[in-house]
Amino acid sequence: MSQSTPGSRRKLVGQPLLYSITAFASLGVFLFGYDQGVMSGIITGPHFRKFFNTPTSVETGTMVAVLEIGAFITSLAAGRVGDVIGRRGTLFIGAIVFGIGGAIQTLTTGFFMMVVGRIISGFGVGLLSTIVPIYQSEISPPDHRGALACMEFTGNIFGYASSVWIDYFCSYIDSDMSWRIPLFIQCVIGAILAAGSLVIPESPRWLIDVDRDEEGMLVIADLHGGDPEDLVAKAEFQEIKDRVITERESGDARTYAAMWKRYKRRILLAMSSQAFAQLNGINVISYYARKSFLAAGWLGRSAILMAGINSIIYLLSTIPTWYLVDRWGRRSILLSGAVVMGIALAATGWFMYIDIPQTPQAVVVCVIVYNAFFGYSWGPLPWLYPPEILPLTVRAKGVSLSTATNWAFNFLVGEVTPVLQDVIGWRLYPMHGFFCACSFVLVYFLYPETKGVPLEEMDAVFGEDEREEMEENDSERASLMSSRSRQSGNTAGIKRTASPPSRSWVSRLMGRGDGRAAYEPIADGEE
């Protein structure tokens, strides 16, 4: 996977290169998956609690959730950084910053230093969580884009599962090393990712966008098998280049304001997917799995063991989506996931409420079912969907907004969960079940299907090609009618066009047209 220069060849080409890049880029999401899980096991450990003088629920929530503040800040900046220094450079910087934050956490001398380390790690997480999905979407072919993004998410859950089991085994260490070792492992993985980011190829779409066409063509050729004369590779290069030229000739500024004005619906959909990924309740389980099991009746190390078993099933649940996402499509997976997750959360709250001898076992089953369906649906797809639906010119900036939304809601849920667990108890779980119902409604009415659509043809999915053509035709028709009116001196004969049917306030807010746009791929030979 060494970086190529004009005239050189990589050892890996075609699908081996593509899958190798995916596996390596998954280390980026492994890192923030690991970081989410590692705190779940150590915050209830006796040595951790003793070292931090038995932290309150607010202090515990702050140590866990403050990482999201750093992630929120840099995820907003990642769009600009990714456009200026490229996808690889952003990946490298994110890994280095994350490792520094992990070192500060490992060597912490108290609460304040831990919070600082968590914020710095968050800076790295914000960069990685924004740029990795963009990078993955830009190197993936349309018919495998969903599968590769879901494989990448499996890396995230593998990180989470690894952290839970490392917490479990380290809980047998009778010293502060029981929580310092799990934190130190972050530094090791960060260093590996930083080193590897120097040898993976740059995104061909970014290279073409900054006029490094020869390098971009070499990467595309290698992804298609290594032959620079391959007709499919040349066609893909030309399609990307034509799109770049069209965007430049349009004269639209590449600012956040211009992006919001032109692509408001896409931005809101991208942000909503990430918001509901958190509001649907995953961090109640990820960050506080052990506390949830403790509340249900599992005591001591058994709570970590249950969290570990749950994490394995969670990991396995992400694998079927590799196959299904490019066959069933995005909408059906999100809809079915929301239904089962909502039911599982409601059942969790119910069993905690009735508090019968079977409650501990029932809660474990409900949590496992919930996690399995989150891992199959609302876990991977909100990371796939935003970079899919946003055009190249604003993709980094748009995904930075959607990722910032993720971390903002991540922080909100992480900060208030330990307090709500103390204040409202079992009601916390059906509350998140209600958000699952809201996400079902949103997807059903507003999310278009993007399965199999090339990134450069996504405008057709949102009806923007048709809308622009209609606007041009309307303009020409109005000009012609005005001319005829002046010639006849009589406007009475002009037939007024029927006013468009009224739309709901939700459709108007999302900028949605009348009815769903049906995507049809461009046929060979069509202009």
Helix (H), strand (E), coil (C) string for 16-76:
HHHHHHHHHHHHHHHHHHHHHHHHHHHCCCHHHHHHCCCCCHHHHHHHHHHHHHHHHHHHH
pLDDT value at residue 5: 44
Higher pLDDT residue, 111 or 297?
111
pLDDT given at position 300:
62
Q: What's the pLDDT at 486?
A: 44
- Range of weakest confidence among 179-193, 232-246, 250-264: 250-264
Instruction: Give the burial class of 196: count Cβ atoms within 10 A of its Cβ; 0-12 exposed, 13-18 middle, 19 or more buried.
Output: middle
pLDDT tens by residue, 430-463: 999 999 999 999 999 999 998 888 887 888 888 7
**pLDDT for position 296:** 55
- Which residue carries 């009116």 as its tokens? 485
pLDDT digit string, tens, across residues 30-61: 887 888 778 877 887 889 999 999 888 788 87
- Which pLDDT band holds residue 362 (cuts at 50, 70, 90)? confident
Could you tell me which residue, 254 or 7, shows the higher pLDDT? 254
Measured from the Cβ of residue 139, the count of other Cβ atoms closer than 10 Å reads: 24
Percent of the chain with pLDDT over 90: 29
- Of residues 301 and 88, the one with the higher pLDDT is 88
**Is 60 exceeded by the pLDDT of residue 322?**
yes
- Compute CA 9 distance to the chain's CA centroid, rounded to the nearest angstrom: 32
pLDDT at 232 over 70: yes
Kindly state the average pLDDT of the residues 224-233. Answer: 86
Across 409-425, average pLDDT: 79
> In which band, very low, low, confident or very high, does the pLDDT at 301 lie, cut at 50, 70 and 90?
low
The stretch 186-196 carries a mean pLDDT of 89
Q: In angstroms, rounded to a whole number, what is the distance separating the alpha carbons of residues 226 and 10?
A: 8
Which band of pLDDT confidence, cut at 50, 70 and 90, is reported for residue 10? very low
Tokens 């063991």 sit on residue: 305
Percentage above 70 pLDDT, the chain: 82
Mean pLDDT of 502-506: 43
Residue 527 has pLDDT above 70, yes or no: no
Q: Which residue has the higher pLDDT, 501 or 83?
A: 83
Q: Do 188 and 31 form a contact (C-beta atoms < 8 A)?
A: no
Q: Each residue of 273-290: pLDDT tens digit? A: 999 998 998 877 665 555
Average pLDDT for the chain? 80
502 pLDDT more than 80: no
* CB burial string 349-376: b at 16+ within 10 A, e below: bbbbeeeeeebbebbbebbbbbbbbbbb
Question: 136, 149 in Cβ contact below 8 A?
Answer: yes
pLDDT score recorded for residue 124: 92
The pLDDT value given to residue 314 = 83
| Backbone phi and psi for residue 53, each to the nearest 5 degrees, phi listed first | 55, 50
Give me the pLDDT at residue 514, please. 40
For residue 329, pLDDT beyond 50: yes
pTM listed for this prediction:
0.73
Instruction: Give me 64's structure tokens.
Output: 């866990």
Mean of pLDDT values over 156-174: 87
Mean pLDDT score, 124-151: 86
Q: What is the DSSP string of 468-517?
A: HHHHHHHHHHHHHHHHHHHHHT--TTPPPPPPPPP--HHHHHHT--SSPP
pLDDT of residue 485: 45
Residue (of 264, 439, 269, 259) closest to 338 by Cα position: 439
Q: Which of 16-30, 310-324, 408-422 has the lowest mean pLDDT?
A: 408-422
Whether 193 and 91 have beta carbons less than 8 Å apart is answered as yes
The pLDDT of residue 476:
46
pLDDT at 303: 66
Average pLDDT over residues 127-144: 85
pLDDT for the residue numbered 249: 80
Six token digits for residue 136:
């993955």
